[in-house]
Structure 1
């Protein structure tokens, strides 16, 4: 192991990182700089802020050519030395998953001379999905993790957090889906399990740092003994950057963290894994939600929430276009899986109470939005930024950012966010993360507006009324064969017509509707002069009588 330990020689470091924090002049400048920026409600972008008034670190200076990742000399690369805190001789608890990223992180920390112990968090509940695989997926992950630990020469411990994961991530995810929102299990996993339950698990052990293979930077400004400020900063790899998923962390959690891959790109990490000869160097990255493995999210939802048929209504007209298997399978902006012709169609809204989803062809032209409300705001620094006029925002994981500003409510627990550009896929239940320069300030949950207020641009009054007055699905399926597809039949009218029909016909007549009859009732909001009297045959509206009235009424209200 000693042959791989870095030599701690300041002369090898560039001027930008060679800062003697014991120097009185530097300490004075650091304290003044920190106080000034704290008064403005923000802290400098990185430790280099102590050298001047620079607010942002130019990540491009530190980003190597991604095509040359395999050429990285990780033992002497100043970025790696910085992110691994070379020279501090720390005791580090390293979270490993069996994947390439966490394995490289472990090896880098060991090479940096730290005393490391590896931990594998077992969160699988594979017994719920025994029909989806022949072998437990976590056993393969654990096998790779053990192989890497054996190569590096560190102990691997398995921590069982299945019950906590179910209670704090899976159950909350299901509750959000039942409420019609789009949750983010990975956000919950980081804040409540990896850096929540796990920190509680090791609270009585003397670890200085908790490390993982996340693509994010941890910058420490100032002296730990004098109130060190810890910041979460962007990775130079904009595509892999994971600050969005870490933006719900609390100050007490951030103070313990270190991310050895913080200054590296994915291509560089792959190259380092090859150069190190790790057992899992060729292993593919995991995709999807961490606890599902090979199980599709839709399969997971079906297993725990089941199916319940509901109508798909056209947002502009309220016309029934089809039947879905439960609103919880769909998210705002979704295009795939609707199985409708004459598209493309998009989900633009959901009526949770009536199990209705509204769809439209005009999603991209009408669903654009520049403002939304957020709640449950979490600020990594522990305080609300005073300057909220120069922030940037991510509304999902990925490189896209928007310039934005805030308007807080009275107590600061929620706010309206104003984007400088339109976004087409803002989904209630997801998170919006906020940044100043390259520092992630925190995040909040995107709130769901009432259907009539927030989504009225997309969903017409006709469609909203139709959602609450749709016929029974079984009746619609029967009438579909008779080309009766309008949504405007009140449930009470359906029952009344059934009773009227039975008094004059056999009970089977409703099951044999011919094309001359419509299972459609005139809405009570029709103008009185336009109403007509139902025919005597069981109270149905003849097609030739009803359609002209409907067309005339629609023209008046449109």
Structure 2
């Protein structure tokens, strides 16, 4: 794979060359392209594109706002866009081509700030053109450009393909190989959007970086550098994305502004129509950003491959069938098992022997899943909260919180925390993040660790012995799965009715 480092953006030996943009895109965009080449770099590098740049990045001119737009806009919509700043701010806005980031851009523009939009291109088009037949980033970029053209905002396209591969995708693959279930969105935020990208524009004198995330950042009123900024829940609890932002550092948070933190999602759609955005009816994107319409399981299969293993019933050790590799499964998974007489759930994985244990009793067995361990902590303030006995936590994205207590202890050089929940959670998965909150403020997060033996789902000795067999061909043929007694009773009642 060709490699690019963001250092090329700021290196003193960088020269700019103009090429026609149609060289890179199938659709016509009548703007010049900046090809950035670092002379001392011994190999060819990817281009970083610059589209629609009528003003210099160093410009502090305030955009001309339509008086009609401002007069019709409720001031509450601008409350997360720093409208009371003592001076117009220079803000770098991450623009994806979707509705959320587009509305965020327009709100900042309406608040009187000088905005430059940036589209982060992280597709692996060179190496994966035979694997993916479509390049959805072209459509995203077309929408992003149209949104910027409405208010004459510059748009920069920045390639972070290699950074995304090195800092996110490689980590995901390694975690899946170890049997864990990583979270790419958390890593993308801390390592790419607000990591590598922030490093790339560090010499461009932007006051803040903005995006379309549903979260609030509360900045100190004073200019004291030692005052903390806080990450707070958004107004829309269903869309709230503080879970995905919980691994940010204080240095990153101090440079962020999230205009949508004060606005519910349905109101964002209304604003998109009010601004007459070209993407106002566009559906929200789903899944991981670099995959487009490709399932992540297909991507994992491409890079890890497939290795046949066995499915065993946890309670009996019965051989139920085969699977393509333990890395395709996660604890609590129900879909994609292909077993009759269900529902069946993945309850444990034997990584060493490539065995997946399943059960139909996932919700009836006391799995003691109200206690789990967390490591690799990052506290947004730089240190843990004072009162660890009265926290709230999320173990996945969504509106559900648990009241919890956290007991910290040393495990060698690392701090390990034991989390105690008031009730069982059915889907705790090693590799996922647990985010912690004090009331409405997100204070940080850590990575959920593997369960210790006596805290997991009870797998019988017979199943363990079969899993340890070197020659799995001696197991025989899969057993015929019989319906559970309660299922037979239910079917009889249905027939009688």
TM bucket, shorter chain:
0.7 to 0.9
- Answer whether contact 1:124 1:138 (CA < 8 A) is retained: yes
Counterpart of 2:455 in structure 1 is: 454
Q: Structure 2: state its 5+ residue gaps.
A: 1-62, 482-497
Cα displacement string for residues 148-171 of structure 1 (whole angstroms, at most 9, x for unaligned residues): 111121110111100010000000
Write the distance in 2 (CA, Å) between the matches of 1:368 and 1:340.
26
- Compute the TM-score of the two structures, normalised by the length of structure 2: 0.80
Residues 211-222 of structure 1: pairs in structure 2 closer than 5 A: 211-222=210-221
Write the distance in 2 (CA, Å) between the matches of 1:337 and 1:368.
26
Q: Structure 1: state its 5+ residue gaps.
A: 9-72, 486-558
Write the distance in 2 (CA, Å) between the matches of 1:472 and 1:466.
8
- Compute the TM-score of the two structures, normalised by the length of structure 1: 0.71
- Answer whether contact 2:236 2:265 (CA < 8 A) is retained: yes
Write the distance in 2 (CA, Å) between the matches of 1:413 and 1:150.
50
Equivalent residue pairs, number: 415
Counterpart of 1:418 in structure 2 is: 420
Which SS does the other structure have where 1:372 is aligned? strand
Cα displacement string for residues 2-26 of structure 1 (whole angstroms, at most 9, x for unaligned residues): 3437999xxxxxxxxxxxxxxxxxx
Write the distance in 2 (CA, Å) between the matches of 1:87 and 1:353.
57
Write the distance in 2 (CA, Å) between the matches of 1:313 and 1:74.
63
Cα displacement string for residues 480-505 of structure 1 (whole angstroms, at most 9, x for unaligned residues): 28x799xxxxxxxxxxxxxxxxxxxx
Cα displacement string for residues 203-253 of structure 1 (whole angstroms, at most 9, x for unaligned residues): 111000000000000112341236332000001111100000000000110
Q: Structure 2 vs 1, CA of residues 146 and 445 (structure 1 numbering), >3 Å: closer, same or farther?
A: same
Cα displacement string for residues 81-110 of structure 1 (whole angstroms, at most 9, x for unaligned residues): 344343341110000000001111111111
Structure that is richer in helix per residue:
1
Q: Structure 2 vs 1, CA of residues 461 and 85 (structure 1 numbering), >3 Å: closer, same or farther?
A: farther
Write the distance in 1 (CA, Å) between the matches of 2:454 and 2:198.
42
- Answer whether contact 2:65 2:109 (CA < 8 A) is retained: no
Write the distance in 2 (CA, Å) between the matches of 1:168 and 1:74.
43
Counterpart of 1:78 in structure 2 is: 76
Write the distance in 2 (CA, Å) between the matches of 1:162 and 1:109.
28
Name which of 443, 446, 458 aligns with 1:444. Answer: 446
Q: Over the residues paired in the alignment, what is the CA RMSD in angstroms? A: 2.1
Q: Structure 2 vs 1, CA of residues 348 and 420 (structure 1 numbering), >3 Å: closer, same or farther?
A: same
Counterpart of 2:269 in structure 1 is: 270
Write the distance in 2 (CA, Å) between the matches of 1:408 and 1:467.
34
Write the distance in 2 (CA, Å) between the matches of 1:230 and 1:246.
14
- Answer whether contact 1:87 1:113 (CA < 8 A) is retained: no
Name which of 416, 431, 434 aligns with 2:433. Answer: 431
- Answer whether contact 1:313 1:356 (CA < 8 A) is retained: yes
Which SS does the other structure have where 2:357 is aligned? strand
- Answer whether contact 1:430 1:445 (CA < 8 A) is retained: yes
Residues 22-421 of structure 1: pairs in structure 2 closer than 5 A: 75-88=73-86, 89-131=88-130, 133-225=132-224, 227-366=226-365, 367=367, 369-410=369-410, 413-421=415-423
Cα displacement string for residues 349-401 of structure 1 (whole angstroms, at most 9, x for unaligned residues): 00000000000111112245111000001100111111111110000000000
Q: Structure 2 vs 1, CA of residues 215 and 459 (structure 1 numbering), >3 Å: closer, same or farther?
A: same
Counterpart of 1:4 in structure 2 is: 66
